[in-house]
Every structure is written in C-alpha cells, then in structure tokens.
Amino acid sequence: GEDLPLPSAPRVFTVANQKGGVGKTTTTVNLAAALARSGARVLVIDLDPQGNASTALGVEHRSDTVSVYDVIINDEPMADVIQKSPEFEALYCLPATIHLAGAEIELVSLVAREQRLRTALDKFLDESPEPFHYVIIDCPPSLGLLTINAFVAAREVLIPIQCEYYALEGLSQLLNNIKLIERHLNPALTVSTILLTMYDSRTNLANQVAAEVREHFPKEVLDTLIPRSVRISEAPSYGQSVISYDPSSPGSLSYLEAAAEIARRGAPA
Ligand code: ADP
Ligand code: MG
C-alpha cells in the first residue's frame, strides 16, 4: 500500500453516532486496518459490550478474556490486555466482553468515573516502547458513561452518517452532547471527520443526503464515500477487515482512500 504521512503524536478518535446500525463498528475496523496497512501503528478500543469490533478483528473476547472492562473498572494496565490482530503486524485491539455491559452501572460509584479510560490510555501511550499513531474507539449507540469515557479520552470525533432519509435526525442532539463534553470535561474535543457510509449512488435520496451533509459540514466531510457493499458486510464473519478479505473491492478501496484523506489532513490545529 501507499505510505501515508504519520502523525508526530498519537491521534485519538472516537467513532460516535447515537444511532445503531449506521456503520460505526464497520468504520472503526476498516479504517484501522487501512491505516495499519499503510504503515501506521494502530490501536482499536472496543467500548461496545456487543464486542463487534473485537469479533471483526479476529481477537479473542470470551467471557473470561481480560478486556477493556478490567482496564476501566479494575485498573488493569492496558499494555497487559491488548491483543495483536491476526491480520496486520501493527494493528492491536483492546477487546470488549459481555462484562462491559455491567460497567455502565459500576462506573457510577467510581471516583473520576468519566476519566477512567483517558487515564489508562494516556499512561499506555506514554509508556509504550513503540509509538502508536492512531487510536480508534468504537462506541455503543447510547450516550452513557462508556461513551462519555470515549469522548473524554479522544481528541477527535469521527461521525459516520448513513446516506438515508433519517440521517440528520439525532445529529444535532449528538453535536449538543459533544459541546457539553467539550465545555465540562474535554476542552480539546473536536468533530474533525464526518464519513458518509452505505452510499448507493443509484438513488436520488443518497445523493440528496450526501449533498445536504456536505452543505452543513463542508470542512468535516471526507470527499471519499463508503459504498454499500456486500463484501464489507461479509468480512466480519471471517474475522477480517474488508481490506484483507477482498483487497481490491470497492469497499476496501474506499476505506483505504478515507484513511489516506485522514492522514493527509493531519490532526486538527
Ligand atoms: P453500528 O456499529 O453503527 O451499529 P455496524 O458497523 O455494525 O453499525 O453496521 C451495521 C450493519 O450494516 C452491519 O451488518 C454491517 O455489516 C452493515 N454495513 C456497514 N457498513 C456497510 C456498507 N458500507 N455496506 C454494506 N453493509 C454495511
Ligand atoms: Mg457497533
């Protein structure tokens, strides 16, 4: 693959959208794989109790696997919990197990409950013998303490938007919530990237939605669109990103191009 410019400090993204099924996990996994293939060291943090990102990356996440739950609740060092993906040398995953579902409630009574992930991640990145270039956090669809932990740990928010009728519904709610986090918990948080997903160029509707999102967010929306593609939806059942599963498919090429855009744009000022 093409070698992309590497950031001088780790770029930490939270992939967020309060809707389910818009392509958060798919985007997390495939962007991470695309960045890893282009020469970056990448960590995916699976913060969704469903563990879909862990599954898609082919890492172990049985109920007895040490996981992100242990990092957030039991102060387990992240370095002892991350697993290398079988796919790429420089792609790692902090897996999620079903225990994470209980963390939402257990967090409530913990000290600095919004900062737990950030504290663990900062320490991990500081102490890592080899630098990481990207950290991508996959969030559950709800705005609970797990998602808040992700927003506090990240500098950048990446919002995947599905090119369909209700795409913009709920988006202002999400942006308001991000503003609140920025004001009270993480002043550096920025919506740096919007990615249009599941795009079907044959429908007028998809084109209208894409145009509308671009009009509202001219700086944030990537030029690259992710097409609706069966290859993209098949890949996770093989524990692979589409980048490995079908490298020359349009879905794979679009995620590689999106990764290249993100790398070339660089971190927000
Ligand atoms: P979320 O994490 O936001 O809930 P997912 O990434 O799990 O969403 O995607 C929801 C469903 O849509 C999954 O079955 C996934 O395989 C499928 N999907 C995601 N992106 C695409 C795409 N570009 N083309 C076809 N199917 C997709
Ligand atoms: Mg998901």
Q: Supply the pLDDT for residue 1.
A: 53
Q: What is the pLDDT of residues 28-67, one digit of tens each?
A: 999 999 999 999 999 999 999 999 999 999 999 999 999 9
Residue 104: what are its φ and ψ, rounded to 5°?
Answer: -50, -40
* Closest atom of ligand 1 relative to the 17 alpha carbon: 3
- 228 C-beta closer than 6 A to ligand 1: yes
- How many Å apart are CA 149 and CA 153, to the nearest integer? 6
Phi-psi region of 216 (alpha: psi -120 to 50; beta: other; left: phi over 0): alpha
* Closest atom of ligand 1 relative to the 198 alpha carbon: 23
4, part of any domain: no
ipTM over 0.90: yes
- 244 C-beta closer than 6 A to ligand 1: no
Confidence band, pLDDT 50/70/90 cuts, at residue 170:
confident
Q: Number of structural domains, the chain? A: 1
Residue nearest to atom 6 of ligand 1 (CA): 23
245, part of any domain: yes
- 233 C-beta closer than 6 A to ligand 1: yes
CB 149 within 8 Å of CB 72: yes
Q: Nearest-CA neighbor of 11 among 133, 120, 149, 137? A: 133
| CATH number of residue 224's parent domain | 3.40.50.300
Q: Where are the beta strands (DSSP E) in the chain?
A: 11-15, 42-46, 83-84, 91-94, 134-138, 156-162, 190-199, 221-227
269, part of any domain: no
- How many Å apart are CA 244 and CA 136, to the nearest integer? 19
- 229 C-beta closer than 6 A to ligand 1: yes
6, part of any domain: no
Query: How much of the chain exceeds pLDDT 90, in percent?
Result: 91
What's the whole-number mean pLDDT along residues 82-99?
96
Confidence band, pLDDT 50/70/90 cuts, at residue 167:
confident
Q: How far is CA 175 from the centre of its chain?
A: 17
- Using CA atoms, how far residue 63 sits from 49, 69, 76, 105, 232, in Å, is 11, 11, 16, 18, 27
229, part of any domain: yes
2, part of any domain: no
Domain carrying residue 15: 11-264
- 226 C-beta closer than 6 A to ligand 1: yes
Is the pTM for the entire model greater than 0.90? yes
| Model confidence at 234: pLDDT above 70 | yes
Name the one residue in this structure whose structure tokens are 């410019």: 5
258, part of any domain: yes
Q: Supply the pLDDT for residue 2.
A: 64
CA of 187 to the centre of ligand 1 (A): 31
What's the whole-number mean pLDDT along residues 116-122?
98
